[in-house]
Structure 1
Amino acid sequence: MSGGVAGRRVGMIVPSGNILAEDQVRAMMPAEIGLHVTRLKLKGSSAAELDAMIADLPKAADLLADARVDLIAFNCTAVSTRSRDADRTITDEIARTTGIAAVTTAEALLAGLAVLGARSIVLVTPYIASVVDAEAAYFRDHGLDVVDAVGAGIDSNWDMAQARPERWRELLLAHRSARADAYVLSCTAIRTHEIIGALEHEVGRPVLTSNQAIAWHATRKTGSSARLAGFGRLLAEY
């Protein structure tokens, strides 16, 4: 790896029930960037639970500010795509509370799709229907053509994490589309980082995942230009 910024630190907020995001994001960031994590309460996918996650957002952000991080990453796809402006509301609240710049998973996915030149996507998720619909609407509201959107109907972070990566590979391949510029494997709580490269080879298109996108976006926002092979085109080329 090269082009890293020694001594830079990223703070990350994840759902309390997520057991995968830390390890995946750490694996996809340069070693010279520190990663410091805290949690907000979220185990399920109901509207009430998703809305409630950000109730204690200022407190969580303030805890990360104590670590003097350079950037705060709010890493929950479902919450940051709840509405057209959900991501901006979250980053504005973090900045007001801490004075530290912030990014969200939704913002990271949009940025990744933009640098890849993708205008149309297939959205593959573990979510229940209401969350799939909200996320598809978010991407459409930001100018993307969502040619297909599918969920596996799983409600909890814990159950999402139990599925083998092969399940997400099979679901994505079952929804291949010649109209898609890229595929989005959405959700920070599923096992996906080890299958990105192979999937890109199979479908002949870029594949973005939530944890991959936040790792890439946070890395670039810290000023690092480090490239990392093995986790898809986004991290290897941009």
Structure 2
Amino acid sequence: MSDAAIDLTQTMPPVRKMDYRVGKKLGHRARIGAVVLASDETMEYEFRVVLHSLGDGVALYEARIENSPEITPETLRAMEGKIADTARLLLPQSAMDVVAYGCTSASVAIGPDRVAELLHEAEPTAKVTNPATAAVEALRAMGVQRLAILTPYQESVNVFFGQFFADQGFDITAFGSFLEDNDATVASIDPASVSEAVIELGSDPNVDGVFVACTSTRLLEMAAETERKLGKPVTSSNHAIIWHSLRLGGIDDKLPQFGKLYSL
């Protein structure tokens, strides 16, 4: 083959201008932006499981925020200075309807109000949420007062995490943890194991419902089945934040295959 430049104008046919029509964009009902932890392996997948049921009218756009895979109070608070800049990367040419920050424990460590303020720096017109706020809204919507909490966290995180929900007015009547501090390990926990732990904690007669923390923890696809076995409402970080993002975005479609929360 010759290295000499080929004059394509001598060999190509003329370029024809083709007609097109402008239609509805992806996310014409709602555009949701998610600030996802760099170490998270679960949140995007579980978001898409739900959004697949809604077709192209609801679209998800993500930006990944740098974080440590080790979950400690110090590493969680270290994300505060990165939230706004990461959210600016979601879809710079188009405003989001909703922006969700995807870390439950960091939302508690930094404070939900501060997280909201940082998201609004990047997306001033968007409605905003995070897993801690979404969980509170979800649990209240389902009428849960006496709460069981399941986390993957070490004790240093569990202490302030439980205090947050107590401060929101819930009675913490049962608390369990896998006592893991690495996101990759948490993402590998079998959803069936999560479901079994939920049922064990929730079976306490003093419990009205169960919340499963951490966006790396997988439960969404088993939430409805777990509720049927337990006979009480169940939600998780992803399960709650996806629901809350949809409702904030004006999407009120009922999706009972994902449990009681999605039937409200």
Q: What's the TM-score once normalised by structure 2's chain length?
A: 0.83
Unmatched 5+ stretches in structure 1: none
Does 163-172 or 215-224 show the bigger shift? 163-172
Residue from 195, 212, 231 that aligns with 1:204: 231
Partner of 2:183: 157
Residue from 43, 53, 59 that aligns with 1:34: 59
What CA distance in whole angstroms lies between the structure 2 residues aligned with 1:201 and 1:80? 30
The CA deviation at 1:172 is 2.0
Residue from 28, 33, 37 that aligns with 1:15: 37
Structure of higher CA gyration radius: 2
What CA distance in whole angstroms lies between the structure 2 residues aligned with 1:173 and 1:198? 11
For residues 117-138 of structure 1, give each alpha carbon's deviation from its aligned partner in whole angstroms, at most 9, with x where no partner exists: 1111100111111212221110
The CA deviation at 1:65 is 5.2
8 Å Cα contact 1:64-1:72 kept in structure 2: no
Unmatched 5+ stretches in structure 2: 1-26
Partner of 1:51: 77
8 Å Cα contact 1:181-1:205 kept in structure 2: yes
| Larger RCO of the pair (alpha carbons < 8 Å, separation 6+) | 1
Partner of 1:124: 150
Residue from 92, 101, 110 that aligns with 2:127: 101
Partner of 1:77: 104
What CA distance in whole angstroms lies between the structure 2 residues aligned with 1:8 and 1:174? 37
Note the 1:140-155 alignment, pairs <5 A.
Answer: 140-155=166-181
Partner of 1:192: 219
What CA distance in whole angstroms lies between the structure 2 residues aligned with 1:97 and 1:194? 32
For residues 43-74 of structure 1, give each alpha carbon's deviation from its aligned partner in whole angstroms, at most 9, with x where no partner exists: 12012211112221110111125142111101
What CA distance in whole angstroms lies between the structure 2 residues aligned with 1:6 and 1:133? 42
What CA distance in whole angstroms lies between the structure 2 residues aligned with 1:101 and 1:164? 33
The CA deviation at 1:97 is 3.5
Sequence identity of aligned pairs in percent?
24
Partner of 2:165: 139
8 Å Cα contact 2:29-2:251 kept in structure 1: no
For residues 125-158 of structure 1, give each alpha carbon's deviation from its aligned partner in whole angstroms, at most 9, with x where no partner exists: 1111121222111000010111111111111111
8 Å Cα contact 1:125-1:132 kept in structure 2: yes
What CA distance in whole angstroms lies between the structure 2 residues aligned with 1:134 and 1:167? 25
What CA distance in whole angstroms lies between the structure 2 residues aligned with 1:150 and 1:24? 23
SS in structure 1 of the partner of residue 173 of structure 2: strand
Partner of 2:208: 181
Partner of 1:92: 117
SS in structure 2 of the partner of residue 64 of structure 1: coil
8 Å Cα contact 1:61-1:98 kept in structure 2: yes
What CA distance in whole angstroms lies between the structure 2 residues aligned with 1:226 and 1:191? 23
The CA deviation at 1:223 is 0.8
